[in-house]
Structure 1
Amino acid sequence: MSARHDAPPGTEQTPTAEVDTLVGHLARAAAVAPDDPAFTFADFTAETAGRRTVLTWSALDHRVRAMAGILTQAGAAGERVAIVAPQGLEYVIGFLGALRAGAIAVPLFPPNLPGHDERLASALDDARPACLLTANSSRAAIADFCTGRRLPGSPRTIAVDGAELGKAAAGPADDAAPALVRPEDCAYLQYTSGATRAPSGVEVTHANVVANVQQALAAFDVHRDRNHMVSWLPLFHDMGLVIAVATPVVGRIHSLITDPLAFLQQPVRWLRLLAEHPGAVTAAPNFAYDYCARRVQGEHRDGLALGQVSVMISGSEPIRPDTVSRFQQAFAANGVTPEMIRPSYGLAEATVFVSTSPTGQAPRVTAFDRELLGKGTARPVAGAAPGTFTELVSCGRPVGQEVLVVDAETRRRLPDGEVGEIWVRGPNVARGYWRSPGRSAETFGAVLAEDPSDVAGDRHWLRTGDLGVLHDGCLYVTGRIKDLIIIDGTNHYPQDIEATVQEAHALIRYDHVAAFALTVHDEERLVIVAEHSRQISDPGAERDAVARAVRDAVVAGHGAAVHDFVLAPPGTVPRTSSGKVARSACRRRYLAGTWADRVDLDRAGAGGAE
């Protein structure tokens, strides 16, 4: 069965193609509300309270025009322009300036992001941009990176906060018409986080992103006269880019941005920014809510008035029921209500947003029989014994698009209660992967076995690679197909095992656990790598006790034996740029002997497909 919900329009509509692009919406905002605040950056490196720099819609439009003029003179029209600037207003100006110049923006990050140089090099090599937009503070690092990596094309580097733009912006407004930009044109390449494979550039058109923003505005009931967007998410990530840049531009909504590091250093900063802006709408991965509940304590909670926050989206990674409960209980006295928290599902291939829980309802948590779920059937249970059920958080219903659950092998839709691959169809679905027609056809051109093939493409579906189930009309995401662990014919979801492991012993770091499978003597075997606490002075002395606790917990909770357990040093379990545990990368490191003092490669085996 399918789930569908047609949304009422979330913003003013116009038939003109010019306005149905991000460039057109920016021009309109500058024309109708020139003095309203558009973007604010809170810089916590400059002041402990966060120095605020504000751009009005007219000031932003003026700088974007100047940036577009520089890019046009550099011959960037029709080419790719990579934004490798630090988080801030320069990033916003560079991104929108590239669009106004008729270029394809490539939102990335500077080389100083720890542990992600390979992903940056891979994306730049794939996109082959004509220009790199950065900040003066990053020019030297960019030059060293490009020289060391021998990137093709010798792209020109332009500082968005440099003298060139300053001189152009100081002059009169550039009244020249922007490059011809149509809704069907590619606006930007969204490089995926690389959780299960090398980063790929998703071609997101202006029509895709405008449609997705309007779907989200309707789903979360967001309006410019009562809401603010507040975000610390990285702007190169799909959720950060759409919620902090695209949604404000299309919806003409004030956006307050800060740096991810500011949040990680002191998570209370995020909560204070929410409290300062009545009607705040924000989004974060599951780990961020758990991080706040654990780290923001005592006097830091005093005075936090969160009762006027409108929406707190939880997405981007598996949503854990205990995290939802822990966060709500931790900040209930500060005004957080269950209805504020909106579990959601999305992916870069659908621009970002697909479904969310209904407005005004608390997150819905359902317990399913664990054994049956492992066999592909979701049967709700009540009052079951611990270890016999799995709790899943509902991601609600789609808005303005369709969702099916499909048997990935037969390509036939499945009824409610059966686990299968999630397929999506709607105007927000991107048109394919950059320079990858074969993979694009496989992922974006899926057709149901029971439907006739349509050469026009309007019957095609996006294969998400995610497993899920529809229950009572709501979507529950169970995991990634590529991450599924199959032992003795039973499916195990790694995030469930990881949740069990991190609760098995106090010395295991929360959200720093990876579970994956290896083929040993033609059979799947479970391997777990878990980082230990930074407080351990002698990990070797604790290893056996932690390993026993983990093995006992996994057997009791999942009926699966642990083939090998690695107690790893802090910071060694790889993560994607969006903060997810990169299980495939962890598996490769394991087989490469990264934790050689713990890994018997002959015993572990080196078989198994990625």
Structure 2
Amino acid sequence: MKSQQDAMTLSHALASSAGTAGGITYFGASRGSSFLSYAGLRGRALRWLHRLREAGVQPGDEVLIATDDTELFTALFWACILGRIIAVPVSTPTGDEGALKIGHIWGVLHRPWLVGDARVAGRVRAVADQLDAATAAALARIEARTLVADSAQIEGPEAAQAEVGPEDIAFVQFSSGSTGAPKGVMVTHANLLTNCAAILGAIDHPGAPPRFVSWMPLTHDFGIIWFHILPTVFGLDHGLIPTKLFVRNPLVWMQAASDLKANVTGGPNFSYRHFLKYFEPDAPRDWDLSHLRVIANGAEPIACALGMEFSRALAPFKLPQTALTPAYGLAEGTLVVSMAPPDEAMFSVVVDRAQVSPGQPVREIDGPEPGVSPVDFADIGRPIADVAVRIADDDGAELAQGVVGRIQIRGASVTRGYYNNAAATLAAFTADGWLDTGDLAFTADGWLDTGDLGFLRNHRLIVTGRRKDVIILNGANFYPQDIERVASTVEGLDLNMVVACAIGREVTGDDREHVALFVLHRRDAESFARIAAGVRDAVLSEIGIPVDYVLPVARIPKTTSGKVQRYQLVQRFVAGEFQEVRADLEAREAADAAELAAAFAAGDEAAFAAHLGALARRIVEGGEIALDRPLMESGFTSLRLVEFARRLTLALGLRVQVTFLFEHATLSAIASALLALPRADAMVDARADDAAPSAPLAPLTASAPRIAVSGLALRLPGGVETPDAFLDLLLAGRDATSGKPAGRWGDLPAGLCITERGGYLTDIETFPARFFNLTPAEAEAIDPQQRLLLMTAWEALERAGLDPTTPACSWA
């Protein structure tokens, strides 16, 4: 492995790497791959730089790179680096959401160009009416400043490399904040070389140079910096797996690691669960994972239990059980801030859940304690070289070890600010140069606030969660990822299917925040009702808080880097989108409590009290609850009483107040008092300050009237996409066949294709993923025929005069 101590820029580093035997293995389907040396990469990049200059791109211009082709992406990226052009990696849009993000980014830039897929510009222009006037006006010239790039391989002369300095911007990493407005992190050559050297120093060990392999998207800082820029500048071999291939078949990840004898790979938490879903322990595999020393786990909250499950599953393939390596970082820190040492088994710190609020010392727990709810957080090691970390309070004062506070960072890897956004930069740093990660603001003393909360333990970092996501109930702080972890233990769920959010008091009109859990679910209402009940019970039992709403969603909104956009779900809730679903679920939950309601209606006090006991045991697990013992002495808390009151309200048709349960402290007293209420006055003795439960929807049953659909939708060769177009085709007697469209089937070997014409559908890759509540990754994984079925089924219903969104046609 060569040293890059003398390299001042990425351009110098690539020139040095071109003199080595190292390079990139580009993996494809069916275990196919191709190798490109760093000398070949540099030559290819210089030829692309010549093409860019011919088109009019100048040093200092910004180039948005939008392509899923990893070979083409790397060629274009390094062309920008060598030409002192500011690279702006963006995801290729598959729907309106991705196109809108590119539109927003375009409005932030000075002299932007778009290079990549020919269809991207059109998709962005199509959403211009959803952007502000200034941005929409800027987009008017997007086609004129778009260069179509179809293949990485290009012929022609090589351009001369531009003069580049260490403080020049290498690329801008954009991410959308909670308002959807993008902020671009400026990453300089010096930032990158510093952070890459620190990462390599943390994972390197004597022996053969490390080899890397990754499926992470190159538009994500984790993917482009750790798994492409780092090995490239140090002349180290690395392999790149197309992200879409990993989404479709995650097993290619370990196959590639085995084929390449890779030492280093990684991915965020969800990737390990995604892999395990497809992994069959008894299937014959020829994997040898003994070389894998580091599997970096970062970019989202780390679940140690999942990491250990992944490690155990691959132990038969000789995976070292110390390979999983927790890491913490952010774009504003270039990439990595802290990392656990390689060859150290990952572990978590278990603390009292009631003592993880900002400014509060945590209390570690060694074992089970009566009345104490434990929560565990992954240990993420010490800060890497050239990065300092401190924990501070809201006033910027440094806190002692073991006290929860704001995570702030400072060092040579930290960005100097946000591109073309002086206000955000000024708000981000402290006066002495620290970055506060809280709202990504720089504190008055120069530290950058990361927006995260955590504490130091033996000078090692423990991250507890995002400050803006914390849910506050009765003065105690609860972290959404902790609630999500517990909810995901319910049968049929996992970590990627649950999102916890706080619904503010200004929305609920209550004296506390409400907890909403949004669950990825695309099946029927009855199956979801069972899941919702299980989620409520699990969270109440383990964490001790009520879940006010458990709601189904067809997709979980995320940024292109995979971070959950909780604010979008809250906005949908506030807009009233879930009112009918809530009413339906409440009606089903009330129906499930039929035995309790029957005992109440019969006036049988003993039977009624017994059923109350069964309901109470679902809320507080751990044995019998005596009928004559106060609930607050039987494991109940005030929050558990809130949930008990809510369930009684739904089951009995009474608005039971929590104060009523305090006044009648035992199950026997509650049964007696409820049965003594005059039935006509029962609803008056309700949650006096709350609204009555919503009226339920009419249940969907087999007796519902049948619907006759009289509508037609189709997709046929010759561009036929409507019934009228089909009639025109028949009347004209036109031939709907054509020659093979460009890009269809790829480049076939000579002699393989035995016909020159065929019946081809047009635009089969165009699919409105956002319209159908699918993520781009989910849309890519769906068979094209299924995508066509979705679109034509919707059109057929519309042509029949039916609204596909109504309960008569669908649920949720």
Describe the shift of the 1:90–1:162 C-alpha distance in structure 2 as closer, same or farther (beyond 3 A): closer
Determine helix, strand or coil for the equivalent of 1:55: strand
The aligned runs of 1:96-495 (5 Å cut-off) are 96-112=78-94, 115-127=97-109, 129-134=111-116, 138-146=117-125, 148-149=127-128, 150=136, 152=138, 154-155=141-142, 156-161=145-150, 166-168=154-156, 171=157, 173-174=158-159, 176=160, 178-192=161-175, 194=177, 198-221=181-204, 225-300=208-283, 302-374=285-357, 376-385=360-369, 388-447=373-432, 460-495=446-481
Distance 1:126 1:191, change over 3 A: same
| Residue number in structure 2 paired with 1:589 | 572
Q: Against the structure 1 CA distance between its residues 592 and 140, is the aligned structure 2 distance closer, same or farther, given a 3 Å change threshold?
A: same
Q: Go from structure 1 to structure 2 and tell me whether the alpha carbon gap of 1:54 and 1:402 turns closer, same or farther (over 3 Å shift).
A: closer
Partner of 2:60: 78
The residue number in structure 2 matching 1:502 is 488
Go from structure 1 to structure 2 and tell me whether the alpha carbon gap of 1:271 and 1:139 turns closer, same or farther (over 3 Å shift). Answer: same
Closer, same or farther in 2 for the Cα pair 1:100/1:566, shift >3 Å? same
In structure 2, distance between residues paired with 1:463 and 1:604: 43
Alpha-carbon deviation of 1:514? 0.9
CA displacement at 1:439 relative to structure 2: 1.6
Query: CA offset at residue 391 of structure 1?
Result: 1.1
CA distance in 1, matches of 2:71, 2:411: 31
Checking the alignment, whether the CA contact within 8 Å between 2:328 and 2:336 is kept in structure 1 is yes
Q: Secondary structure at the match of 2:75?
A: helix
Pick from 516, 524, 528 the counterpart of residue 543 of structure 1.
Answer: 528
| Counterpart secondary structure, 1:298 | coil
Distance 1:327 1:117, change over 3 A: same
Distance (whole Å) between structure 2 residues aligned to residue 472 and residue 604 of structure 1: 52
Query: Residue 54 of structure 1 aligns to which amino acid in structure 2?
Result: F
Amino acid at match of 1:132: L
Which has more helix, going by share of residues? 2
CA 284–26 in structure 1, closer or farther in 2 if over 3 Å, else same:
same
Report deviation, 1:256: 0.8
Query: Could you tell me how far apart the structure 1 residues matched to 2:165 and 2:205 are?
Result: 26
User: Is residue 2:47 matched to residue 1:40?
Assistant: no
The secondary structure found in structure 1 opposite 2:580 is: coil
8 Å Cα contact 1:516-1:526 kept in structure 2? yes
C-alpha distance 594-37 of structure 1, shift in aligned 2 (>3 A) = farther
The CA distance in 2 between the partners of 1:364 and 1:509, in whole Å, is 21
CA contact (8 A) 1:531 1:568 kept: yes
Counterpart residue identity of residue 41, structure 2: L
3-state secondary structure, aligned to 1:562? coil
Tell which deviates more after alignment, 402-411 or 239-248. 402-411
Instruction: Report Cα offsets for 1:220-241 as digits up to 9, x if no partner.
Output: 1168953211011010111011
Alpha-carbon contact 1:423-1:461 (below 8 Å) kept: yes
Comparing 418-427 with 384-393, greater Cα deviation is found at 384-393
User: RMSD of the TM alignment (CA)?
Assistant: 2.7
Moved more, 415-424 or 298-307: 298-307
**TM norm structure 2:** 0.65
Counterpart-to-counterpart distance in 2, 1:598 and 1:288: 31
Structure 1 contact 190–201 (Cα < 8 Å) conserved: yes
SS of residue in 2 equivalent to 1:246: helix
Task: Sort the Cα spacing of 1:300 and 1:315 in 2 relative to 1 into closer, same or farther, 3 A.
Answer: farther
Q: 1:547 to 1:14 in 2, by over 3 A?
A: closer
Contact in 2 for aligned 1:83/1:132 (Cα 8 Å):
yes
Larger relative contact order (C-alpha < 8 A, sep ≥ 6)?
1
CA contact (8 A) 2:394 2:406 kept: no
1:190 Cα deviation from its structure 2 partner? 0.4
- Contact 1:69 1:101 (8 Å CA) reproduced: no
Deviations 1:478-509 (A, max 9, x none): 11111111111100000000111111x31335
- Measure how far apart 1:99 and its partner are: 1.6
Partner amino acid, structure 2, of 1:436: N
- Counterpart of 2:558 (choices 575, 578, 593) is 575
Residue identity over aligned pairs, in percent, reads: 29
Query: Aligned equivalents of 1:593 and 1:167: distance in 2?
Result: 57
How far the C-alpha of 1:596 sits from its partner, in A, is 4.3
Residue pair 2:325, 2:346 contacting (<8 A) in 1 also? yes
User: Could you list the runs of 5+ residues in structure 2 that have no partner in the other structure?
Assistant: 129-135, 435-442, 584-689, 694-812
Take 1:66 and 1:264, find their aligned partners in 2: how far apart are those partners?
32
Deviation of 1:207 (Å): 0.4
Partner in structure 1 of residue 514 of structure 2:
525
Cα separation, partners in 2 of 1:426 and 1:603, compared to 1, 3 Å: farther
C-alpha displacement at 1:122, in angstroms?
Answer: 2.0
**1:358 CA drift (Å):** 1.2
1:250 CA drift (Å): 1.5
In structure 1, what is the Cα distance between the partners aligned to 2:108 and 2:548?
38
Identify the range of structure 1 (521-530 vs 466-475) with the bigger mean alpha-carbon deviation. Answer: 521-530
Contact 2:4 2:13 in 1 (8 A): no
Query: Which segment is superposed worse, 141-150 or 385-394?
Result: 141-150
SS at match of 2:341: coil
Tell me which amino acid in the other structure corresponds to 1:116.
G
Output the CA distance in 1 between the equivalents of 2:553 and 2:378.
30
Deviations 1:374-411 (A, max 9, x none): 46322211112597111111110111134434334211
Aligned: 1:69 with 2:50: yes
Give me the whole-angstrom Cα distance separating, in 2, the residues matched to 1:488 and 1:62. Answer: 63
Considering fraction of residues, name the structure with more strand: 1
Distance 1:180 1:543 in 2: 60
CA shift digits 1:517-550 (9 cap, x unpaired):
1122253111111113x5x4x2x21333322222
Task: Give, in angstroms, the shift of residue 443 of structure 1.
Answer: 1.6
Q: How many residues align?
A: 563
Q: Name 2:786's counterpart in structure 1.
A: none
Q: 1:117 and 1:223 mapped to 2: Cα distance?
A: 46
Distance 2:231 2:178 in 1: 28
C-alpha distance in structure 2 between counterparts of 1:348 and 1:448, whole Å: 17
Q: CA deviation at 1:37?
A: 4.1
Partner of 2:13, secondary structure, is helix
**Equivalent residue of 1:586, what SS?**
helix
Alpha carbons of 1:547 and 1:458: their partners in 2 closer, same or farther (altered >3 Å)? closer
Which residue type is aligned with residue 103 of structure 2? A
Structure 1 length as normaliser, TM-score?
A: 0.86
